[in-house]
Amino acid sequence: EDLKKQQTVVSSDPYSSDPKRHPILRVNSLKPFNAEPPPEILSDNYITPSAIFFKRNHLPVPQVDPASYQLHVEGLPGGVLTLSLEELKTRFPKHTITATLQCAGNRRSEMNEVKQVKGLNWGIAAISNATWGGAKLRDVLLAAGYGPDVAKWARHVQFEGLDKDVTGTTYGASIPLNKAVSEEGDVLLAYEMNSEDLPADHGYPVRVVVPGTVGARNVKWLGKISVSAEESSSHWQQNDYKGFSPGTDWDTVDFKSAPAIQELPIQSAITTPADGAMIDRSAEELTVKGYAWSGGGREVVRVDVSLDGGKTWQVAQLTSNGKGQEPEPSPLPGRAWAWKLWEVSAPLPPDDQELEIVCKAVDNSYNMQPDTVPPIWNLRGVLSNAWHRVKVKIREDECKE
């Protein structure tokens, strides 16, 4: 009877039908569910297994019946185009791309250490890499009537999710039209993740994948696409996911003054060793591993690693993969959507008891990461891409026979 009662209570919770998650995930918020994998595991795989791919939900996970699912495409001359899941899969060629998604709030915890910000306290693993399969948004828009006449007035493509808050407001976002319709933009209406149906947490049955662009525009559980002269009017497009000067606070912020985050800047982080790790002096060599990625299809061309807090630097080896997987083919120019994993092995400095390991990456526009957090601090704690710093202690051998 108690159990029955509990189930009734639970079922009035909008999160009660959320899927099960892998227990290894580090949970930042249960309702809505937001979680990241342990960093050491992240760099074990070039393709992040879906179960440990970071989860970033704004709202309860909607339960969508694939048989009755409909995708509405609006704002084009022919009126509304409505596609079933089957039509999306059969009327348009399937394209596959490997793309890294990163939350705007990845590494927010480092900003919190400078001064409190508003948002989930993400570590360094709100970023993951997957292979996505689906129809090209470009193909669907062309089928729905997109053409040169539309290009004259349209500037944005808006997306609406099927996830809703208690008032019925759905998640929404938009991207610039040129990204959506360009052949090189590679925007997908994805129905597969790592060769399987999308998991519930990643937008089953259909999500947008906007490679090179902040996670927040990669709308999940996609219900509606609208071609428009205006950006999405959603909270997340207008009053969130924007960057500000470190001097701007909640009393002075004018959200209209900053552009919505789209392409993300150059990023990298050290996944191993962990901050605070203890290294045995007998190890002699230290291996440092991490990831590096840049937005806008800009390819990471170099990662510099320092063992002395940034005084001297060595160049890390870029590896497409963690454990002897096949190397990835070189991306087309401007279409480097996937991260690079990297590692460097170096002798332990003989005289130090503590090391500050630092990494910084460079992309093919030669953009670099800023040195320190305070000058890029912002009230929402987004775009946290300063050099990543990890302190480790060296344990001297106790017995030297």
- The residue ranges that bind its own copies (CB under 8 A) are 155, 176, 178, 184, 243, 245-248, 258-259, 261-266, 295-296, 301-302, 304, 310, 312-315, 332-334, 360, 362, 364-372, 375-376, 383, 385
- Alpha helices per DSSP H over 99-176: 108-114, 137-143, 148-151
Give the residue at shortest CB distance from Mo ion.
Answer: 103
Partner touching 114 among Mo ion, its own copies, none, CB below 5 to 8 Å by kind:
none
Distances (CA, A) of 312 to 307, 342, 344, 356, 359: 7, 18, 14, 11, 11
- For its own copies, the closer of residues 41 and 301 by Cβ is 301
**Minimum gap (Å) between residue 154 Cβ and Mo ion:** 26
- For its own copies, the closer of residues 221 and 293 by Cβ is 293
- Looking at residue 381, what DSSP letter applies? -
Residue pair 33/17 in contact (Cβ under 8 Å)? The answer is: no
**Minimum gap (Å) between residue 304 Cβ and its own copies:** 5
**Minimum gap (Å) between residue 242 Cβ and Mo ion:** 12
Residue with tokens 């890499």: 129
Contact track, Mo ion, 202-231, x by CB under 5 A: -------------xx---------------
Report the distance separating Cα 401 and Cα 397, nearest Å.
Answer: 10
101 binds Mo ion (CB under 5 A): no
Q: Give the three-state DSSP class for 161.
A: strand
Partner touching 84 among Mo ion, its own copies, none, CB below 5 to 8 Å by kind:
none
Type of residue at 104: A
- For its own copies, the closer of residues 184 and 280 by Cβ is 184
Partner touching 215 among Mo ion, its own copies, none, CB below 5 to 8 Å by kind:
Mo ion
- Looking at residue 254, what DSSP letter applies? -
104 binds Mo ion (CB under 5 A): yes
**Minimum gap (Å) between residue 276 Cβ and Mo ion:** 27
E-state strands within 3-122:
26-29, 34-36, 55-56, 70-74, 81-84, 95-102
Give the closest residue to 300 by CA, choosing from 205, 250, 368, 357. Answer: 368
Residue with tokens 């990543």: 388
173 binds Mo ion (CB under 5 A): no
103 binds Mo ion (CB under 5 A): yes
Type of residue at 206: V
- For its own copies, the closer of residues 271 and 384 by Cβ is 384
Q: Which residues bind Mo ion (CB under 5 A)?
A: 103-104, 215-216
